[in-house]
Amino acid sequence: MVIDDQLNLITTIEKTLWLHSLNFEGYKFITNDTTTFVLDSVDRKIAEIEAGSSAFIHGNTLYSRKEASFTAINLEKFVEGPLEKK
């Protein structure tokens, strides 16, 4: 929302809220309600996944639920080359 000094509504701005929700082996997972971007160590987008804010990582696997579907993605196979353990 944009308001003036009299608190009158001037306009509304629709924006999607993104959340840095997960980290895994140097990768960042930036999420909204329906989509997750995977960023590398210099914040370049390397992937876009249909996984929302309820996604979580257990071991090397990203899990996500959408309506009646459940998705599991092996993160070791997801990126180019093996992930280095830190």
Q: What's the CATH code of the domain at 58?
A: 2.40.10
- pLDDT tens digits, 12-43: 767 778 888 888 888 999 988 888 888 888 88
**CA 19, 21, 25, 26: dihedral to nearest 10 degrees?**
20
Q: In this model, does residue 85 exceed pLDDT 50?
A: no
Alpha carbon distance 13, 33 (integer Å): 18
Instruction: State how many domains the chain has.
Output: 1
Is 73 within a domain?
A: yes
Is 11 within a domain?
A: yes
- pLDDT tens digits, 45-59: 888 888 888 889 999
Is 83 within a domain?
A: no
Residue 86's pLDDT is 42
Question: What residues make up the domain containing 64?
Answer: 2-78
Q: Which two tokens stand for residue 61?
A: 């696997």
